[in-house]
Amino acid sequence: MGKTALITGSARGIGAAIALRLAKDGFDIALNDVSERSFEDNDIMERISALGVKCEKFIADVSDYKQCEEMVKAVKETFGTIDALVNNAGITRDGLLLRMAEENYDDVIRINQKSVFNMTKLVGAVMLRQKSGKVVNLASVAGLYGNPGQMNYSASKGAVIAMTKTAAKELGSRGINVNAVAPGFIKTPMTDKLTDEQRNAMLAQIAMKRYGEPEEVASVVAFLCSADAAYVTGQTIEISGGLSM
Ligand code: NAD
């Protein structure tokens, strides 16, 4: 295929599932995560390489502009092009508003929101020169509807939805599509942290009466990175089993 996808926070969870799916679709894969340690307990590089595509990992904290700059340069040098960017890296630091520590607000905004600015600006410049590209941002149902205990997270994901629309408007005429997905409750290490009470409350609201799998997010992201979605931009697709109707 000769196309490259860069997926942030892809050592595990949804990011790893997206990387694997895009590799199956023929993309060469640039993995990213915040530390070498993130890759220690998994075989994501081996699984992708076994599919016969090129795969390299790039360690960078995507909330840090300088580190993003160095990573994008290295990815471009290694692969030649960057055709798809998936802004997936994200964290939660949940707590009710009146008890939320200021640093937990700031950390979530920096990692979930500022990272999207850093990466879209830097990879957007590469895509502008190529006159083509796909950007997919990981938002959340919390960014659409709010969620108790997630003032920081819902603010960051609401911003990601607004940033998706702005970038789509700025970059659309240059052949670059920018979309977002808004997952509901997906089974990953991020949601493993929730209590049974929180899980059951969520399940009661889901029309399909089950949680989502990372692969079910990956397939929608793969569609948005494909030629089949050529005329789709600025959109946020909810992947929640019918959480909010
Ligand atoms: P996860 O915690 O399992 O994986 C996130 C990955 O991002 C980890 O490998 C982590 O090391 C990496 N990461 C964290 N900070 C980073 C940084 N500064 N730089 C680079 N990498 C960093 O989470 P997940 O459930 O796979 O979530 C992936 C994305 O999907 C996140 O943006 C999350 O907000 C979003 N999301 C998840 C769910 C869900 O139910 N799991 C729902 C809605 C949205």
Residue 197 belongs to some domain of the structure:
no
153 tagged catalytic: yes
Amino acid at 34: V
CA 90 – ligand 1 centroid, Å: 4
- The answer to whether the Cα torsion of 22, 161, 154, 205 is positive or negative is negative
What is the number of domains present in the chain? 1
Ligand 1 pocket, mutate which of 110, 181, 188 (most atoms under 8 A from CB): 188
| CATH assignment at residue 177 | 3.40.50.720
CB of 63 closer than 6 A to ligand 1?
yes
Q: Does residue 231 lie within any of the structural domains?
A: yes
Alpha-carbon span 123 to 15, nearest angstrom: 18
Any domain includes 131: yes
The Cα 30–Cα 195 span in angstroms is 34
What is the DSSP code string of 178-215? EEEEEE-SB-SHHHHTS-HHHHHHHHHH-TTSSPBPHH
Instruction: Read off the pLDDT band of 195 (50, 70, 90).
Output: confident
Rounded Cα gap, residues 5 and 19, in angstroms: 8
Q: How does the average pLDDT of the chain come out, rounded?
A: 97
The residue length of the chain stands at 245
Do the domain assignments include residue 203?
A: no
pLDDT, one tens digit per residue, over 84-130 is 999 999 999 999 999 999 999 999 999 999 999 999 999 999 999 99
Q: Which of 207, 230, 245 is nearest to 132 (CA)?
A: 230
Taking the model in full, what pTM does it have?
Answer: 0.98
For 90, the domain range is 4-185+214-239
Assess if residue 77 is contained within a domain.
Answer: yes
Q: Is the CB of 167 under 6 A from ligand 1?
A: no
Evaluate whether residue 206 is within a structural domain.
no
In a domain, 191, yes or no: no
- Distance, CA of 137 to CA of 150 (rounded, Å): 19
- What pLDDT band is residue 198 in, cutting at 50, 70 and 90? confident
Convert the pLDDT of each residue in 158-180 to its tens digit: 999 999 999 999 999 999 999 99
Instruction: Please give the distance, rounded to the nearest whole angstrom, from the Cα atom of residue 154 to the centre of ligand 1.
Output: 14
Do the domain assignments include residue 198?
Answer: no
Cβ of residue 34 lying under 6 Å from some atom of ligand 1: yes
